[in-house]
Protein backbone atom coordinates (compact mmCIF):
# COMPACT_ATOMS: atom_id res chain seq x y z
CA UNK A 1 0.00 0.00 0.00
CA UNK A 2 1.09 3.59 -0.58
CA UNK A 3 0.29 6.52 1.69
CA UNK A 4 0.64 10.09 0.44
CA UNK A 5 1.97 12.75 2.81
CA UNK A 6 1.54 16.49 2.51
CA UNK A 7 2.19 19.61 4.59
CA UNK A 8 2.04 23.35 3.96
CA UNK A 9 2.17 24.88 7.45
CA UNK A 10 5.13 25.42 9.73
CA UNK A 11 8.24 23.29 9.23
CA UNK A 12 6.80 21.24 6.39
CA UNK A 13 9.76 18.87 6.07
CA UNK A 14 9.75 18.23 9.82
CA UNK A 15 6.02 17.43 9.74
CA UNK A 16 6.61 14.92 6.92
CA UNK A 17 9.63 13.32 8.66
CA UNK A 18 7.69 13.04 11.93
CA UNK A 19 4.72 11.41 10.20
CA UNK A 20 7.04 9.03 8.32
CA UNK A 21 8.72 8.07 11.59
CA UNK A 22 5.32 7.38 13.18
CA UNK A 23 4.22 5.33 10.19
CA UNK A 24 7.46 3.34 10.47
CA UNK A 25 6.73 2.60 14.13
CA UNK A 26 3.29 1.21 13.36
CA UNK A 27 3.79 -0.44 9.95
CA UNK A 28 6.48 -2.24 7.97
CA UNK A 29 7.94 0.65 5.99
CA UNK A 30 9.19 -0.47 2.56
CA UNK A 31 10.17 2.74 0.68
CA UNK A 32 10.01 6.54 0.89
CA UNK A 33 9.85 8.94 -2.05
CA UNK A 34 11.80 12.18 -2.30
CA UNK A 35 10.02 15.38 -1.26
CA UNK A 36 8.26 17.46 -3.89
CA UNK A 37 7.25 21.10 -3.54
CA UNK A 38 3.89 21.82 -5.14
CA UNK A 39 1.34 24.56 -5.57
CA UNK A 40 -1.84 24.10 -3.52
CA UNK A 41 -5.19 22.91 -4.86
CA UNK A 42 -8.04 25.08 -3.61
CA UNK A 43 -7.93 28.51 -1.96
CA UNK A 44 -4.80 30.66 -1.78
CA UNK A 45 -2.38 29.18 0.76
CA UNK A 46 1.32 28.29 1.11
CA UNK A 47 2.96 25.72 -1.17
CA UNK A 48 3.01 22.08 -0.08
CA UNK A 49 5.71 19.55 0.43
CA UNK A 50 4.50 16.13 -0.73
CA UNK A 51 5.91 12.61 -0.54
CA UNK A 52 4.74 9.01 -0.52
CA UNK A 53 5.58 5.99 1.60
CA UNK A 54 5.10 2.38 0.63
CA UNK A 55 4.30 0.17 3.59
CA UNK A 56 2.87 -3.16 4.56
CA UNK A 57 0.01 -3.24 7.02
CA UNK A 58 -1.85 -6.27 8.32
CA UNK A 59 -4.80 -4.17 9.49
CA UNK A 60 -8.27 -3.94 8.03
CA UNK A 61 -8.57 -0.77 5.95
CA UNK A 62 -10.87 0.98 8.45
CA UNK A 63 -8.30 0.46 11.23
CA UNK A 64 -5.53 1.65 8.93
CA UNK A 65 -7.50 4.83 8.23
CA UNK A 66 -8.06 5.41 11.97
CA UNK A 67 -4.32 4.99 12.58
CA UNK A 68 -3.52 7.57 9.88
CA UNK A 69 -6.07 10.00 11.30
CA UNK A 70 -4.53 9.53 14.75
CA UNK A 71 -1.08 10.39 13.39
CA UNK A 72 -2.58 13.48 11.75
CA UNK A 73 -4.18 14.55 15.05
CA UNK A 74 -0.90 14.07 16.92
CA UNK A 75 0.74 16.25 14.26
CA UNK A 76 -1.70 19.10 14.92
CA UNK A 77 -4.17 18.42 12.09
CA UNK A 78 -7.78 19.34 12.80
CA UNK A 79 -10.21 18.04 10.16
CA UNK A 80 -13.38 20.07 9.68
CA UNK A 81 -15.77 20.42 6.75
CA UNK A 82 -14.61 24.01 6.22
CA UNK A 83 -10.92 23.04 6.22
CA UNK A 84 -11.20 20.34 3.53
CA UNK A 85 -9.22 22.31 0.95
CA UNK A 86 -7.35 24.49 3.43
CA UNK A 87 -3.80 24.53 4.75
CA UNK A 88 -2.66 21.78 7.12
CA UNK A 89 0.31 20.71 9.17
CA UNK A 90 0.03 17.12 7.94
CA UNK A 91 -2.20 15.26 5.52
CA UNK A 92 -2.05 11.47 5.15
CA UNK A 93 -4.01 9.80 2.37
CA UNK A 94 -4.19 6.18 1.31
CA UNK A 95 -3.32 6.51 -2.37
CA UNK A 96 -3.23 2.88 -3.49
CA UNK A 97 -3.45 -0.68 -2.20
CA UNK A 98 -2.36 -3.39 -4.62
CA UNK A 99 -5.45 -4.98 -6.19
CA UNK A 100 -7.94 -3.15 -3.95
CA UNK A 101 -10.89 -1.02 -5.05
CA UNK A 102 -12.87 0.44 -2.16
CA UNK A 103 -15.55 3.11 -2.01
CA UNK A 104 -17.12 3.96 1.34
CA UNK A 105 -18.46 7.24 2.73
CA UNK A 106 -15.08 7.83 4.45
CA UNK A 107 -12.53 6.28 2.08
CA UNK A 108 -11.95 5.60 -1.61
CA UNK A 109 -9.04 3.45 -2.79
CA UNK A 110 -7.31 4.12 -5.10
CA UNK A 111 -7.50 7.80 -4.26
CA UNK A 112 -10.28 9.08 -6.57
CA UNK A 113 -8.21 11.94 -8.05
CA UNK A 114 -4.83 10.20 -8.05
CA UNK A 115 -4.31 10.30 -11.82
CA UNK A 116 -5.28 14.01 -11.89
CA UNK A 117 -2.76 15.07 -9.26
CA UNK A 118 0.88 14.83 -10.18
CA UNK A 119 1.82 15.81 -6.61
CA UNK A 120 0.41 12.45 -5.47
CA UNK A 121 1.04 10.32 -8.56
CA UNK A 122 4.75 11.06 -8.99
CA UNK A 123 5.69 10.23 -5.37
CA UNK A 124 3.56 7.06 -5.61
CA UNK A 125 5.52 6.02 -8.69
CA UNK A 126 8.80 6.66 -6.87
CA UNK A 127 7.87 3.93 -4.36
CA UNK A 128 5.67 1.69 -6.55
CA UNK A 129 6.82 2.22 -10.15
CA UNK A 130 4.83 -0.73 -11.50
CA UNK A 131 1.60 0.10 -9.67
CA UNK A 132 -1.53 -0.92 -11.56
CA UNK A 133 -4.85 0.88 -11.28
CA UNK A 134 -7.14 -1.96 -10.13
CA UNK A 135 -10.14 -0.14 -11.64
CA UNK A 136 -8.73 -0.20 -15.17
CA UNK A 137 -5.77 -2.60 -15.21
CA UNK A 138 -3.58 0.20 -16.62
CA UNK A 139 -0.22 1.14 -15.17
CA UNK A 140 -0.37 4.45 -13.30
CA UNK A 141 2.82 5.52 -15.12
CA UNK A 142 0.98 5.76 -18.45
CA UNK A 143 -0.44 9.29 -17.83
CA UNK A 144 3.14 10.52 -17.28
CA UNK A 145 3.81 10.26 -20.98
CA UNK A 146 2.57 13.88 -21.06
CA UNK A 147 5.79 15.84 -20.38
CA UNK A 148 3.80 18.75 -18.92
CA UNK A 149 2.97 16.71 -15.81
CA UNK A 150 6.54 16.45 -14.59
CA UNK A 151 7.12 20.19 -15.03
CA UNK A 152 4.44 20.95 -12.45
CA UNK A 153 6.74 19.79 -9.61
CA UNK A 154 10.08 20.83 -8.24
CA UNK A 155 12.11 17.99 -6.75
CA UNK A 156 13.85 19.15 -3.59
CA UNK A 157 17.44 18.27 -2.91
CA UNK A 158 17.87 15.62 -0.21
CA UNK A 159 19.15 16.77 3.15
CA UNK A 160 22.91 16.42 3.68
CA UNK A 161 23.88 13.30 5.61
Domain assignments of the chain as residue spans, ordered by start? 2-155
Position 150 scores a pLDDT of 56
Query: How many percent of the chain have pLDDT more than 70?
Result: 84
Q: What is the pLDDT of residue 101?
A: 93
- Active-site residue flag, 91: yes
From residue 61, give the alpha-carbon distance in Å to each of 46, 58, 96, 148. 31, 9, 11, 34
CA distances from 102 to 5, 7, 19, 54, 154 (A): 20, 25, 24, 18, 31
- The catalytic position among 12, 54, 77, 117 is 77
The answer to whether residue 116 scores a pLDDT higher than 90 is: no
Q: Is 88 a catalytic residue?
A: yes
Question: Which residue of the set 12, 91, 117, 126 is catalytic?
Answer: 91
- State the pLDDT at residue 106: 84
Model pTM score: 0.87
55 neighbors 3 (Cβ within 8 angstroms): yes
Q: Which of 12, 88, 117, 126 is catalytic?
A: 88
Report the pLDDT averaged over residues 51-80: 88
Mean pLDDT over 27-44 rounds to 89
Would you call 77 a catalytic residue per the annotation?
Answer: yes
**pLDDT beyond 80 at 122:** yes
39 confidence band (pLDDT: 50, 70, 90)? confident
pLDDT of residue 49: 93
Spot the catalytic one: 54, 93, 117, 126: 93
**2-155 placed in CATH 2.60.40.10:** no
Is residue 47 annotated as a catalytic residue, yes or no? no
Amino acid sequence: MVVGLGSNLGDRALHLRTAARELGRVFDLRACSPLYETAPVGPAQPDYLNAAIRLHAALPVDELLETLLGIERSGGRVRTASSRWGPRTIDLDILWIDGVVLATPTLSVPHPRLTERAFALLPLLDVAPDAIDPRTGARFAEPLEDPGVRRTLVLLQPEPA
